[in-house]
Every structure is written in structure tokens, then in C-alpha cells.
Structure 1
């Protein structure tokens, strides 16, 4: 529906605004500025790293951003939070709710988090499914006083770092490499959101569901179209991701199973996505 598309467009605009703000922070970084002053030819490098040049260079890194944001970043974040212990959340716990005041962001050490947005009519849409080494709640870095545009809840027991807005901004100024790594992660999120927006506008619900299953099975991180197992997700959540009803998800999942595109195991607790077959079904649709 048009309201669903509007929700995704609003979310996309918020992410783009976040990227622009973080990009400005990156360029105004005091450490970066001193590096430019102290190095011959730095003016040329600075010119090449501004505008679309930097964004294009960062876009090329999005494929490897999960590898780059690893243990070293987790250690760095431990220093940012002053040795504070990470927060422990049980499955289904809310990290923050839509409409709350935003003064901090988060980094997932372990576990999974779902970010959703709700319309005034009470309809929910899933904006992101996040895992270890992912940031979320970065909207607090934009502007002055801000509020949460969505709700973040855990999908399984999770260990998460809470990072204050001021501490994060100080980290950007102190560590240019960390600022670039973070910007890369946010840019990767924007790329995914753009793909989801195109999906909502141009593709029907069956094709969107197939694409979601491929994404959930981490399709794209493998050289071959392997058959990949993933934990079964309830149909309500799948419907919120796809942007359709639960009954339609049930209908298409049954169809996929009959066509041999997916297989259920352990009493439907696991699903094997037949990646090559499912991909071919999308391409020949």
C-alpha cells in the first residue's frame, strides 16, 4: 500500500540524513585535519576524498564491512564506554521504543536484533534484522534533540554495548579510522534499505518473500549457490519484513515447499533454502 511505501521512504530519508551528518563529522575531524596539514600533497588527497569520491570508495567496502567491524572495534568500544559491562537482554526484550528520546546508540556483541516501525494505525514494518558487529540507534547522532523513529527488540539472548552520543562523537574525532569504519557500516545499511524500497515498489509479495529468505540465509556471502539452513522465523515477522499478511506468507511458504525451493526440519524449527532453485524461480518470474 501507499502507506507502507511511505514508511520505507521516510526511513530511507532518515538513513541518508544520518550518512550526510556523519560524513560532515568525518571531514571536520580534528585528527584528520592535522594529518592534512602535516603531509605533502595532502590537499590533493583531501580533494579526492570529498563528495562522491569518498562515498564511492566507502560503497566498495560495504561487501566486507562485517569483516572489518570485528573484535578490534569491540575492544575499542569497551574503552569508549569506560570499561562498563555490556547489557544483557533476553529474547524478546526491547532495547528502545519508537518515540523515546534518543541519546545513545548500540553495538551488538552477540545475538540478533529486529528494528521495526509502527504506523499510526498500528501496522508494523521490519526495517532491519541485525546481528553481531552491527550498529543501531545511530539516529541519535543527527541534529540536536532527537527521538527514536523505530523500536529495537532482541530475537534471541543478546549482549549489547550502549554508547552515549557524546562518547561516540568524541571517538570519531579521536580515531579517524573508526569514523570511516562506522560510516562504511551505515552506508551498507543504506544500500540494503534502498534495495528493500525498490522491492516494495516494483515486486509482488511472492518475489519479495523469496528475496527475504535468500537474505536471511546469508545468500551473497558464498561463492556458490549453496543450500543453506537457517532458523525458522515465525510467519508474523516474515510478513512484517515482506510487507504483506501472515496468510499470504503461509500460502507462499507452502508453495515453495511443494516446489522443492525450501525444506523444513526439526518440526519446522529449521528451514533449508535451496538457494540456486529459489534464485532461478525469481529470475524466470
Structure 2
């Protein structure tokens, strides 16, 4: 069993170190790029924690239309719907790159949440943060232009605003995926991406490199991302 400093360093809870303490009901798997983790309609019996990589969550309508509803990165949980009684998965999860993921059985997760207050507080914080993100996404869809929604999405994916992040950050996502996530067409995303690049807000050559200047543009009272060229 690891000692306390390994689990909590300078007051920061380390979920990776903590999850290593779970003796049963826990497995660690590596997933290749584009490999499915679980599918819509599968039995929901476990929660997942991303140690490394990015995971895409999609839903498929009865008419066969697929939509991206979330992208999760290292340090985040997904698949927790089983904890509130969901018997089947309502979405599909897929590795966007090589991933290292911890899978925790529902019974083990419920036991740990009941017995370990620090982990419980960490997990509740995760859920509250996600709920806030969903509310922000809804407001974004209702009131902002598709160009501004794209800018906000790029900033979220690059984790700008966390720990004073100011250095350019690479994102590997297709324009089709970005279009699905903000509710517009690929051609519009291409147009906006070219505009952002011309203004020096991003670099785009296979990977998207997000600059601090994009955040500054969004935060300005009259951002320079909505006016015509």
C-alpha cells in the first residue's frame, strides 16, 4: 500500500496513485487509436478513468446520424452512468489516440466512494465540473455564433485557463469532428480555421496549435473573430 505522500502531494489528491490501491474490480488496459472501448447498447457495469490519451464519446440516433457529445482527456472519468442505475450504455466511446485506461467495476467503485472521503470528494468535484461544462455548452449553442463556438471549443480542448497555460498547445482533431461538436458544417469550420490562422490565433498543419492570442480575442469586449475580413 502506498504511503500518504504518494496519494496526496502538497494537498493535491492524486487519483492515479489512489486507484492503484484498489485490490479487486480494477483492470488497466491499453487501447490503440480508433479502438472502441464500449458501444452504445452495451451492458453498463463499470466506470473508466483515463491515465493517458484522449477518448471520444458519440451517440447514434435512430435515423443513423452520429454526433460527438464529448472528448475526455487524461485525469477524467467517463462511463459513470452505471452508478445511477443505467443498465445499458447510451453512447459509444473510442480511443482517439493510444490510451491507457483504468476500468473500475461498478461494485468496486461504489465501495470506494462509500469508504474513502477524499476520493469521493474528488469524484464529486469531477461530476460538478462536467455539469458546469454541459450548462456552458448549452448556453454556447443557444447564444454564440458558430465561429465563437469553435474558438471556445479549441480553447477547452487545449486546456487554456488551467495553471496559467500560455504556451501553444497541439490538438489532433479532424474538421469533421469539430463541425459535429459545434453543430455546423465542415466547410464553415474550414473557413473559420483559415481565418484564425490568418489572424495568428492558431497554426494549422495536420495538428491544430492553439495560441494564447485566441483566448485574448475571445475575452476582449469586441473580439476580432466575428467581423468580416
2:69 maps to what in 1?
127
How many equivalent pairs are there? 212
2:126 maps to what in 1?
185
Structure 2: gaps (5+ residues) = 1-10
Corresponding position: 1:215 with 2:152? no
Q: Which runs of 4+ in 1 moved over 4 A?
A: none
In 1, Cα distance between equivalents of 2:219 and 2:192: 13
1:262 maps to what in 2?
202
Residues 117 and 282 of structure 1, relative CA distance in 2, 3 Å threshold: farther
TM-superposed CA distance for 1:119, in Å, is 2.2
TM-superposed CA distance for 1:247, in Å, is 1.5
> When the two structures are superposed, what TM-score results if normalisation uses the length of structure 1?
0.68
Task: Pick one of 137, 140, 145 that aligns with 1:196.
Answer: 137
Corresponding position: 1:172 with 2:109? no
1:231 maps to what in 2?
171
After TM superposition, the structure 1 = structure 2 runs for residues 245-284 of structure 1, keeping only pairs within 5 Å, are: 245-264=185-204, 268-277=205-214, 279-280=216-217, 283=220, 284=222
CA contact (8 A) 2:25 2:104 kept: no
Other structure's SS at 1:86 match = strand
CA contact (8 A) 2:29 2:101 kept: yes
Residues 246 and 81 of structure 1, relative CA distance in 2, 3 Å threshold: farther
Residues 94 and 245 of structure 1, relative CA distance in 2, 3 Å threshold: same
> When the two structures are superposed, what TM-score results if normalisation uses the length of structure 2?
0.83
Corresponding position: 1:95 with 2:37? yes
In 1, Cα distance between equivalents of 2:191 and 2:117: 50
Residues 79 and 229 of structure 1, relative CA distance in 2, 3 Å threshold: closer
Corresponding position: 1:118 with 2:118? no
Indicate the structure whose relative CO is greater, using CA pairs within 8 Å and at least 6 residues apart: 1
- Describe the superposition over 1:147-177 as per-residue Cα deviations: whole angstroms up to 9, x where unpaired: 1121111111111111111111111122122
Cα RMSD of the aligned pairs, angstroms, is 2.2
In 2, Cα distance between equivalents of 1:110 and 1:277: 26
TM-superposed CA distance for 1:81, in Å, is 5.0
